[in-house]
Amino acid sequence: MKKRWFIFLIVLLVLPALALATRIVINGVPFETFANLLVSGDFISDVARVEVTASSTLTTNQVRRSMVTNYGMASNGDTTLPAPSSGSSFNVVVEAASQAWSFKPPSGEAFVLDGTALDANDEIDIGQTVGNCGVMLRIRTGASTYQWYFYSVAGAHSDGGAS
């Protein structure tokens, strides 16, 4: 019985220390993530699914730890992002083929696409093949300023110019 309590105490004291924050730097700009997460067996992600079916503006809650998809989009559409804030990041996945789908920054702001800064108000055209995907991250660029960065994972995504 003493051995079980000892193991319980070790687990109680040691496991929280394993979830330490780690700083990661992409293109010289730091952002924070959590490291040391060990998962064995099946893993079910607690990620909200956001289906964009027409031109719209996403809310701050829709761009936090989510998967944004164009499933159900019947015609071409633009998706406008809110101002980037702490904790904003999401995956982009194409599930409706042959529909032109673009992401627009908040008015007057600029994206960074695969390490290249775009002009203010330029949109990112998402490749139109099912399975094309990418990651949109908010990166801190100053004491209290953030910018949207898009990194391609699969497919061709491009600078669509200002709309």
Q: Does 6 fall in a domain?
A: no
CATH number at residue 54: 2.60.120
In angstroms, rounded to a whole number, what is the distance separating the alpha carbons of residues 58 and 61? 8
Best CA proximity match to 136, nearest among 74, 58, 44, 20: 58
* Residue 106 DSSP one-character state: S
Structure confidence at residue 93 (pLDDT): 92
What are the tens digits of pLDDT across the range 53-63? 999 999 998 99
Q: Which has more confidence, 162 or 4?
A: 162
Q: What are phi and psi of 24, to 5 degrees?
A: -120, 145
Does any domain span residue 27?
no
pLDDT exceeds 80 at position 18: no
Token pair in block for residue 1: 């019985």
Instruction: Pull the structure tokens for residue 109.
Output: 């702001």
Containing structural domain, residue 133: 41-162
Tell me, yes or no, whether 36 lies in a domain: no
Query: Rounded to an integer, what distance in angstroms lies between the CA atom of residue 27 and that of residue 85?
Result: 19
pLDDT tens digits, one per residue of 100-153: 899 999 998 999 999 999 999 999 999 889 999 999 998 888 888 888 999 999
Whether residue 152 contacts residue 121, with contact meaning beta carbons closer than 8 Å, is answered with no
The verdict on residue 61 lying in a domain is yes
Residue 48 lies in a domain: yes
Average pLDDT over the chain, rounded to an integer: 77
The answer as to whether 122 is a domain residue is: yes
- Count the domains in the chain: 1
More reliable by pLDDT, 75 or 9:
75
Q: Is residue 132 part of a domain?
A: yes
- Rounded to two decimals, the pTM is 0.69
Residue 58's pLDDT is: 93
Separation CA 113–CA 4 (nearest Å): 53
Evaluate whether 48 touches 62 at the Cβ level (below 8 Å). yes
Yes or no: say if 55 and 78 are a contact pair by the CB < 8 Å rule.
Answer: yes
Residue 11 lies inside a defined structural domain of this protein: no
d(CA 46, CA 93): 16
Q: Is pLDDT of 35 > 60? A: no
Is pLDDT of 64 > 70? yes
Count the residues in the chain.
163
- Please tell me the predicted confidence (pLDDT) of residue 47: 75
